[in-house]
Structure formats: structure tokens, C-alpha cells
A and B are shown apart, each in its own frame.
Chain A
Amino acid sequence: MKCKKCDTTAVINMRQHKLALCGEHYLEWLPEQVERFIEKYRMFTRDEKVLMAVSGGKDSLGLWDILHRLGYHTEGLYIGLGIEQNYSDESRRLSEQFAAARGLTLHIVDVEDEFGATIPELSVISNRGHGKPCSVCGLNKRYIMNRAALEGGFDALVTGHNLDDEVAVLMQNTFNWAGGYLARQAPVLPAHDGLIRKVKPLCRIYEREMTAYCLVRGIEYIYEECPHAEGSTTIYYKEILNRMEGDRPGAKLQFYISFLQAKESGLFANAEQHVELHPCERCGQPTSAPGDCSWCRMWEKVKLAKKTVTMLG
């Protein structure tokens, strides 16, 4: 197959766009697309300073590379979660290596060093998540990212959620008719009540495209999946969606764009819920819970449990 732009051998064929490109033109094309969506959804400008949430995976490292190439003012945030099987150590090494090679600033928050337990330990002690640390992990990441972005004076927090992530969530929420969640899903979550603006520049980029970008660009990323991701709902929905995409190229993109259009026309307006937020009495971060936020309550449990162990020991 030939590159549509220069007639040399193509390295990727994007059936959903009826477009095949060689490596050189692909490395030009993808950043142009990302910039188009940053502008279309008014995510941020070159005058603003944004914090890129980095996991060491293909999406966040690939996106950080693109934003850097496009000349945006970015700094990175890596959260050390303490995931077993060398997963966190390796993802941190790759994130640090990436930032150092480009002279970019990477902020690191190590959960165990800062707060006293790894995420898997926290999940067991707090007894949340039905034996899986994913919900505890999500809560901690959201909390730490928001706090770091606000304290660092950033204008927005950037995450590497790609189109496949977005449609997997969309499909799950559609199957459950989870109106409140559908009403909130968007490329941009505006800042309000102590929450930083959150943006997803890859919301219309397939994860296949991000993998190809990293391979062609030579970006080393963590290839192995988080050991806790096995059997996850996201992967389940992604498998179904990829079967549909195989039969009908563009199905995922069409699902997402149609959703955004339906949302724009007010289809989910009645499902929008206004949640009253106020500062947590302990840490000051926004919460919908009365008194202390669930993050503070969770870590308070850990402190108590560790104190009890020390006393008994």
C-alpha cells in the first residue's frame, strides 16, 4: 500500500479515514489532527501552562511528545502508584527517560513515600473496590492530579484518554442508561468549584494510531498492561467495539461524534445533575461529601490501621 501523499510505502492504513501514510507523513499528520481538536474544543492555548498526566504508556507519552512538538507549554506529572510486578518502577523509569531526553519538567508524586501505602495496600486496608484496586487508584489519581495542577498554577490538566477509552465508557454508560455520566462525558470538563479544567486532546484519536505514532517516532513506552487490568470492563467493551470496527471501519468514531452531536443538541440536558461542591474540612480540596472528602477519610483509615499494627507489634 502506498502513502497517499508521496507514493512511498505506507506504514499505516487508517480505514476509518480512508487514508494510508508513510512514516514521515504520519508523523506530520497526527500532530495536525491533535492540534485541530485542541482548537475545535477550545481546550487550551499556547499562552497557557498545562500539566500533562503521564503514566509511561503510549497515549500519555505520545501525546506529551506531540504537544511538545507543537510548541505548547507543558510540564508532566507522574504518580507512583506502587503497582506490583515491577509495573510502577518501569513506567516511572520510562517517563523519566522521556522527559530527560527532551529537557521537559516531570513532577513526581510517589503515593507510598508521600502518604504511607501503595495503592494495592490502600485498597486492602480501606476495603474498597471488591478486591480490585482500580477504584481506589482512580480516586487517588483524580485527587492528586487536581491538587498538583492547582498548586502548580496550571491552567488545565491534560490526560491521554483516546477515542477507544471514550467509546468504551460511552458504550457502558449507554447500556446502563447512566444519564448523569452521559451528560458529563466531554472532551473538556470546565474548571469549577476548585476543580481544574480537564482536557482530552486524543478524544478523537484511535489507540491504534497512538501505538503507531510511538512505534514510528521511537518512543519507548510501557507495553505490558497493568497487572490489575486483566478482565476489566474497559477491555471487554473495547473488544466488542473493535469487532464492530473490523466489520464497519469508522464505527467507533461515528459512535463518539454522534454522541457529541446529540449532547450538543440537548439530548442529555435533563440528565445533567448539579452537584454541590465545597472544600474538604481537612485538605481543602472540593468534595460532594459532608465534612472530610473520601480521599482524606480513606487515608485516615490507613493511618489508624498502621497505628494499630504498630501498637500490637
Chain B
Amino acid sequence: MATVKIKYRNKEYEVNAGMTVRDAIRKVGLEPETVLAVMNGQLVTDDTIIREGMEIKLVAVVSGGALPSPSGRGAGGEGEHYEM
């Protein structure tokens, strides 16, 4: 069975051709909600069938630092504005 390479950050995975992007994302251990797939430079939906010869790059969508609070019990973020 033909395999296709999937790149995510600095890693490379191989999956079988013929499956959907969504299944491939799960196959490599990622949550479909946390990435977008770019195929041959184009953003694609996750029902796209992976075919031999395609180049797939997964782009992470999750970002964010800590949202600490002085008490350690709550997360203030912008709501913590008066703690200056």
C-alpha cells in the first residue's frame, strides 16, 4: 500500500494513502480540532482523501501562555486588570 508523508512541526509521519485527512490526523495521535491541513500549499477540509504523491503539512492552531492569578486559584487574564 502506498504511503504519504505528513509533516507536523519538526516531525514527519507516514500514513496510508486512501484515508481521509481527519483519520490521518487521528492516526498520528493528534486531535483534529487542534490542526489545519495544508495540501500542496492549499488549505483543505479534513474529509479530503489522501492520495499518493500528495504533500501534507499540519498547522497547529493552539497557542497560549499561562494565565496565572496572584492567588493561584483562578485565572484572571484581562479580568485581572486592577492588579497593578
Query: Residues on A close to B: CB < 8 A?
Result: 1, 10-13, 20, 23, 57-59, 129, 132, 134-135, 137-139, 142-143, 146, 159, 161, 164-165, 168-169, 172-173, 176, 178, 180-181, 184-186, 189, 195, 198, 200, 207-208, 210-212, 215-216, 223, 225-226, 228-229, 232-235, 238-239, 242-243, 245-246, 275, 277, 280, 285-288, 293-295
CA–CA, A215 to B61, complex, Å? 11
Cβ of B66 and Cβ of A286 under 8 Å apart?
Answer: no
Cβ of B75 and Cβ of A178 under 8 Å apart?
Answer: yes
Q: In the complex, how many angstroms separate the beta carbon of B1 from the nearest chain A beta carbon?
A: 25
Query: Which residues of A sit under 8 angstroms from B82, Cβ to Cβ?
Result: 195, 275, 277, 286-288
Query: Which residues of A sit under 8 angstroms from B44, Cβ to Cβ?
Result: 11
Query: Which one, B43, B66, B84, contacts A23 given CB within 8 A?
Result: B43
Cβ of A12 and Cβ of B63 under 8 Å apart?
Answer: no
Which chain B residue shows the least CB distance to A59?
Answer: B63
Query: Residues on B close to A: CB < 8 A?
Result: 31-34, 36, 38, 42-48, 59-70, 73-84
Cβ of B63 and Cβ of A233 under 8 Å apart?
Answer: no
Which chain A residue shows the least CB distance to B69?
Answer: A181
CA–CA, A295 to B81, complex, Å? 12
Query: Which residues of B sit under 8 angstroms from A165, Cβ to Cβ?
Result: 64, 77
Cβ of B63 and Cβ of A57 under 8 Å apart?
Answer: yes
Top 5 closest pairs, chain A to chain B, by CB: A178-B74, A184-B79, A234-B64, A134-B66, A232-B66
Cβ of A189 and Cβ of B84 under 8 Å apart?
Answer: no
* Interface pairs (7), CB distance under 8 Å: A23-B43, A142-B80, A146-B81, A185-B79, A211-B36, A211-B61, A286-B82
